[in-house]
Structure 1
Amino acid sequence: MSATVHIADVVKHYGKVEAVKGVSFDLAEGEMVALIGHNGAGKTTLMKMMLGLIRPTRGTIAVLGENPGAGEFSARRQLGYLPENVAFDAALTGRETQAFCARLKGEPVKHALALLDVVGLGEAAKRRVNTYSKGMRQRLGLAQALIGRPRVLLLDEPTTGLDPELRQTFYEVIQRLAADGTTVLLSSHALTELEERAGRVIIMNRGLKVADGTLDELRRLARLPTRIRIKVADLPPSGAPAWLPATTSYRRINGHIVEIDAAPDEKIDLLRRATADGNSVQDLELIPPNLDELYAHFLRHAERPQ
């Protein structure tokens, strides 16, 4: 896959504040990447530099082979962007707003208006924006970001204010775009949503990139324990099962479930012991570290003195 976005050693200063500190990464065609971090981590600043809205203090950015900060940035028409806080002319209807955005992009109005149905605004299309709820304005923002089937889609907290059904619809739409080759960079605090959908995660902290990889790659780097829950038919009233090593800590749940936090190099041995002949295991569940736990781990690691 070829890179649609290239960021190399990018630094951004706002006066004495260093908002982005030497960040580098590439984004490829068809990738859905989660960009996560606390408020002020530099996520929105990075997106604005990719759009050419602000320029880096140092470093190189190329989007679809062009410099977004150059006077002529023709690739902008192939980008879609949803800011964290959307704002539209309150006097226009949803339909008028979408048509206006389509004309600005040079895209057929008919195709753009069809997106209002996709985001659940079809019945409200003729209402003025000043009658829309926050969630409805967010849906309108999604509709304008999708105009023209963008090759690069930058989404900053896109599901804020959306109900669960529309969140599902939204992810179905962007997953289809990614399958067709669109690069999707998605910033959100809803880590559970991202864990299920993003193929790659970039973690930011105070302007620095502190981790970058798939969930499996981040788990290998973090080496956090895997939670193992084993349901045992004849668990003794007190004490541990005979197959559990004496040095292994465990918890009992509901009288017949043993829960163990297994280090990566202990996991296979524990599973072999538990499922050996003669043991009465009825059920077994493996729960790897989730994105919340990985995020907390890498932030703690980044805060330690080097």
Structure 2
Amino acid sequence: MDSPHGAAVTADGLGLKGPRGWAFRGVTFSAAPGSLIAVEGPSGSGRTCLLLALTGRMRPTDGEAATGGLRLPRRASDVRRIAALGPVPGVSELDPAFTVAEHLRERALLQRRFDGSLRALLRPRRERVAAARARIDAALKAAGLDLATLPKAERTSVRDLERLEALRLSVALALIGRPRLLAVDDTDLKLSDTERAQAWELLRSLAADGTTVLAVCSQAPEDAVTVRTGATGATDPTDITGEPASPAAPAHDEGTADAFAETGRA
């Protein structure tokens, strides 16, 4: 797929304090565009809050940070436009009752809903549909999700997906918006050693193609830019005072919904 140029991510003494104390503090690192960034630490160490802060979805209370050259928290809304969330519990989870096709259709509709491009509106409908269809297919390919291998193909319910398959679907949905930064929580949770290696290979390939990847994990791979957190306080986004976590408005293309509806299933 045509990958956008990744977003550089920097932090200097970054911290976030809530009613129960510090979620994280003193985080300092610098990662170039197209980096694989691993936020490593035990559960309860502020990993998820750091991910949400760097993607413009929580407001840090100490230090400085920037994503794609956009300073946080002042430019948080702009950061949300270039940073997409993969799976983040309580924020961007897949609906277990939905099928794979329904999730793709919903994301396609969101793409169309937030598209304000006059140029896109002026393109012939058939051209818009074809371009959007290609974008969905490219996202699925980049995520390594072959719908034909699923138990019921595109009609497979999320609850019937294996953990790695669900991860790939979440990543594909995020990639439809062609983000400069992709953020993934609990990357290695409940994965076997083989599946964990496959998950990191997926994220590594996305970074190699130009998209900066920010991944929360319990153990970082050696080739990642590793940011370590300590067990300093609450990490549940609902426990922290700051900008509420919310999904990003997609970076959009008119015709995406039509593409999914007209060609059957992705």
Question: Shorter-normalised TM-score: what interval?
Answer: 0.5 to 0.7
1:165 & 1:115 partners in 2: Cα distance? 23
Give the counterpart letter for 2:95 in structure 1: D
Aligned CA RMSD, in angstroms, stands at 3.3
With 70-79 and 34-43 compared, the bigger mean Cα shift is at 70-79
| CA distance 1:51–1:96, change in 2 (3 Å) | same
Are residues 1:160 and 2:184 paired?
A: no
SS in 1 for 2:8: strand
Match of 2:238 in 1: none
The corresponding residue for 2:145 is: 120
Query: What is the rounded CA distance, in whole Å, between the counterparts of 1:50 and 1:35 in structure 2?
Result: 11
Query: 1:15 deviation in Å?
Result: 1.0
CA offset at residue 54 of structure 1? 1.4
Larger radius of gyration: 1
Are residues 161 and 121 of structure 1, via their aligned partners in 2, closer, same or farther at CA, if it must alter by over 3 Å? farther
| Residue type of the alignment partner of 2:183 | L
Q: Which residue of 2 aligns with 1:206?
A: 231
Question: Percent of pairs identical after alignment?
Answer: 29
* Mapping 1:70-109, distance limit 5 Å: 70=74, 73-85=77-89, 87-105=93-111, 108-109=132-133
In 1, Cα distance between equivalents of 2:209 and 2:28: 25
Query: How far did residue 34 of structure 1 move?
Result: 2.2
How far apart in 2 are the matches of 1:147 and 1:172? Answer: 20
**In the aligned structure 2, how far is the partner of 1:114 from the partner of 1:96?**
18
One-letter amino acid of the structure 1 residue matched with residue 185 of structure 2: D
Q: How many angstroms apart in 2 are the aligned matches of 1:204 and 1:155?
A: 16
| 8 A contact 1:119–1:169 mirrored in 2 | no
**Equivalent residues of 2:52, 2:58 under 8 A apart:** yes
Aligned to 1:138: 167
Matched residue of 2:98: which SS? coil
Secondary structure at the aligned position of 2:94 is classed as coil
Aligned letter for 2:94? F
Structure 2 length as normaliser, TM-score? 0.63
8 Å contact from structure 1 (residues 116, 125) kept in 2? no
The question of whether the paired residues in 2 share the 8 Å contact of 1:52 and 1:68 is answered with yes
* Structure 2 counterpart of 1:186: 215
- Report how many aligned residue pairs link the two structures: 204
Unaligned runs of 5+ in 1: 209-306
Q: Give the unaligned 5+ runs of structure 2.
A: 1-5, 116-130, 234-266
Q: Deviations over 1:42-99 (max 9, x none)?
A: 2211111112221112222221122454476234232232235362234432122123
The whole-number CA distance in structure 2 between the counterparts of 1:102 and 1:74 is: 21
TM-score (norm. length: structure 1): 0.55
Cα distance change of structure 1 residues 18 and 161 upon mapping to structure 2, 3 Å threshold: closer
8 Å CA contact retained: 1:98, 1:113:
no
Following the alignment from structure 2 to structure 1, what is the Cα–Cα distance between the partners of residues 178 and 200?
Answer: 15
The amino acid of 2:170's aligned partner reads: G
Larger RCO: Structure 1 or Structure 2 (Cα < 8 Å, ≥ 6 residues apart)? Answer: 2
